[in-house]
Structure 1
Amino acid sequence: MRLFLLFVILCGFYNVAYGKVSLHIDMKLKALNKPALKTIKSEDGDIIDCIDIYKQHAFDHQALKNHKIQMKPSVEFGTKKTTTKKNGSSEPITSQIWSKSGNCPIGTIPEAVLIALGYNFVGAQSDINVWNPPRVQASDYSSSQIWLLAGLSADFESIEAGWVVNPSVFGDSRTRLFTYWTKDSYTKTGCINLLCAGFVQTSTKFALGAAVEPVSSTSRDQYSITVTMFLDPNTGNWWLTCADNVMGYWPGKLFSYLQHSATAVQWGGEVYSPNVFKKPHTITSMGSGQWASYLWAEASFHTNIRIKDYSLQIKYPKYLSEYSDENDCYSTKLHRKTYMSEPHFYFGGPGKNRFCP
């Protein structure tokens, strides 16, 4: 069962779905069969295999048998912002630890909700505050991410990206970069990262599934990673960039509803556990593990929240609303320090506590 804590731009309604985790293990075994042309051992213990870009798992998908790789988008999301580090702004993460030990050769790739109404979205982004949640049980996961969705409530399509702690997939409790997609509400299609056919990675510098460091700590430096997803109108592919690195894309052929636009954008956190909405509740925490009301340097956040619609203008969402499935376990707060300052969407919580037994 999945628990959402969301800041959403929404046109339509999406039910909670339950099939996301069950697909992971079989996909993981299939992905291990791809031969590596180079192996990099990272100083943090990760093993990065560089595989032939045309032999990555994406091309096992029937719809992509004759797909020609698009190495870069034909359009950009928009101009890059510049920030200075000060109280209220976080330090951007621009690289991963494994890249200190080498890069994948050219031709290979590393494998390793607020609510607004009335738009068709062709892009979204945010600076995602990076934490390592203090408690994530072995059968659970905890993420901070962006969702782009389209379709019907019982049959929606979604592309997702951000960071996750997922012991059952990665075998540890480290914070890792991830993507996800589905075209049938997590029922039979889609998976995390490159564990199944679908997402086409083009970057040789950033690895999906690799650890994201450094992470933020209470009352100390805050770190974030900029995640952007946008539609290339010339190809129908949905592109992903992380920390200004073009990661790759979801081919438009994977989808029906998402071929032209998304009808909902969500920012926030998610906890999956068999022990939500019942007692005893899971102790898995979300974000930093602190309540949203604790704000800067205590609670996890999204900021620099932007969308792009058919006007092709990058803009702050006009109509916003917050949502939490279990307010006594995890909370939300949209906060603006001053009228002119950039809003921060704070979210998270400890899971099981005296109000959430």
Structure 2
Amino acid sequence: MKRSIFLHYSEKISFSQDPPARPKGDEREETATESLQLWTDSGESCPEGTVPIRRTTEKDILRASSIKRFGRKLRRHVRRDSTGGGHEHAVVFVNGEQYYGAKASLNVWTPRVTDGYEFSLSQIWVISGSFSHDLNTIEAGWQVSPELYGDNYPRFFTYWTTDAYQATGCYNLLCSGFVQTNNKIAIGAAISPRSSYNGRQFDIGLMIWKDPKHGHWWLQFGSRLLVGYWPAFLFSHLRSHASMVQFGGEIVNSRSSGFHTSTQMGSGHFAGEGFRRAAYFRNLQVVDWDNNLLPLTNLHLLADHSNCYDIRQGRNNVWGTYFYYGGPGRNNRCP
């Protein structure tokens, strides 16, 4: 019998407060393309009062460059004035106001990651503080990370930090912080099905928002599934609100040979190829002070290595604000 990759809490889960007030305008989306998680295909489920936890194995630890680094991002990976550490982005962001959450549907692919210590991800960032030392972030999306998971599947993930990735925070449930309340969603589990080039497209819907009553930051997966929350006391700047919200892709380019990595972002194809070829985010929204979901205004686009990965934004009545993004990495224009 194959050993389950999941452990289950034995203690009962209980809310320390009432369920959160969802943002006004968060209507149920009827969609046939919402992705599911691969672990449920076997019929495995969790008893009431428990949550699925991905098992951390000895091999997981050994793949990391150090035990201290396991489950953590490198410091300064989101700085916008440099690309220190080899982190490269193609993102849309808004700033200059007070934000209380963000929502989007993320197109899921299986980008090729060419080095064990590199990754490719697509996510939402909710950000406040200084990038240099006291950055607070809440992050959720999908990622391919052979170092963290030992394979090349796109996996649902979360992250948080309160000190610019120096000592606090981690991926998923690898440290205390995020409180999971749902027994149907496994953080760190592979997403299935995935999109294919010129084929069917699949999304996951994600929303992060601050509960106006208790102040915790909640995570919703899919149409209405509450995954859990980041308690307000974890944070300094994010205890009140966010000053920036960001959507898009990120990769790590660890090459020291002078050549750019061939790690792909999104589908591995440039934004200009459009639907069914390039990866996309659609229905981008933010949450305001009165718990209303609103369309984005005053958007900024950034592709810090546009010959390797790029981005194009648009708007229509079906997808609202959307963008295509990504690329192959190393190519004739990105040697």
Regarding TM over 0.5, the answer is yes
Q: Which residue of 1 aligns with 2:322?
A: 344
Equivalent in 7, 23, 26 of residue 77 of structure 1? 23
Which of 137, 149, 160 pairs up with 2:139? Answer: 160
Q: Identify if the C-alpha distance between structure 1 residues 53 and 121 changes in structure 2 by more than 3 Å, giving closer, same or farther.
A: farther
User: 2:49 corresponds to which residue?
Assistant: 107
Choose which of 52, 60, 65 in structure 1 pairs with 2:10: 52
The residue that corresponds to 1:253 in the other structure is: 233
Matched, 1:92 2:34: yes
2:270 matched to 1:270? Answer: no
SS at match of 1:253: helix
Query: How many angstroms apart in 1 are the aligned matches of 2:189 and 2:169?
Result: 20
Moved over 6 A (4+): none
Supply the RMSD in Å over aligned alpha carbons.
2.2
Shift of 1:140: 0.4
Aligned to 1:25: none
Aligned AA for 1:143? L
Given that residues 73 and 239 in structure 1 are in contact (C-alpha distance below 8 angstroms), is that contact kept between their aligned partners in structure 2?
A: no
- Residue 138 of structure 1: CA displacement? 1.2
Contact 1:136 1:165 in 2 (8 A): no
Kept in 2, the 8 Å contact 1:48–1:98? The answer is no
2:237 aligned partner, one-letter code: Y
Gaps of 5+ in 1: 1-39, 56-67, 86-90
1:177–1:328 distance in 2 versus 1, CA, 3 Å: same
Task: State the shift of 1:84 in Å.
Answer: 5.8
Instruction: Specify the SS of the correspondent of 1:168.
Output: helix
Aligned equivalents of 1:136, 1:149: Cα separation in 2: 29
| Aligned pair partner of 1:182 in 161, 166, 191 | 161
Match of 1:222 among 201, 206, 222: 201
Offset from partner CA, 1:70-125 (integer Å, 9 cap, x none) = 3763311343243566xxxxx112x3232242321122111112233432111101
Identify if the C-alpha distance between structure 1 residues 268 and 201 changes in structure 2 by more than 3 Å, giving closer, same or farther: same
- Of 144-153 and 95-104, deviating more is 95-104
**Secondary structure of 1:281's aligned partner:** coil
Q: Contact (CA 8 Å) 1:145, 1:161: kept in 2 or not?
A: yes
Compared with structure 1, are the counterparts of its residues 69 and 295 closer, same or farther at alpha carbon in structure 2 (3 Å cutoff)? same
Question: Residue 105 of structure 2: which of 103, 127, 147 is its match?
Answer: 127
Q: Please give the secondary structure, in 2, of the residue aligned with 1:264.
A: strand
The alpha carbon displacement at 1:351 in A equals 0.8
Give the 3-state SS of the residue equivalent to 2:148 in structure 1: helix
| Match 1:138 to one of 110, 116, 121 | 116
**1:178-217 to 2 correspondences below 5 Å:** 178-217=157-196
Contact 2:262-2:328 within 8 A present in 1 as well: yes
- For residues 270-300 of structure 1, give each alpha carbon's deviation from its aligned partner in whole angstroms, at most 9, with x where no partner exists: 1123238x82111111000000111100011
Point out where structure 2 has 5 or more consecutive residues left out of the alignment.
55-90
Would you say the 8 A contact 1:72–1:246 is kept in 2?
no
Query: How many matched pairs?
Result: 295
Q: 1:305-324 residue pairs with structure 2 within 5 A?
A: 305-324=284-303
How far, CA to CA, are the matches of 1:335 and 1:120 in structure 2?
24
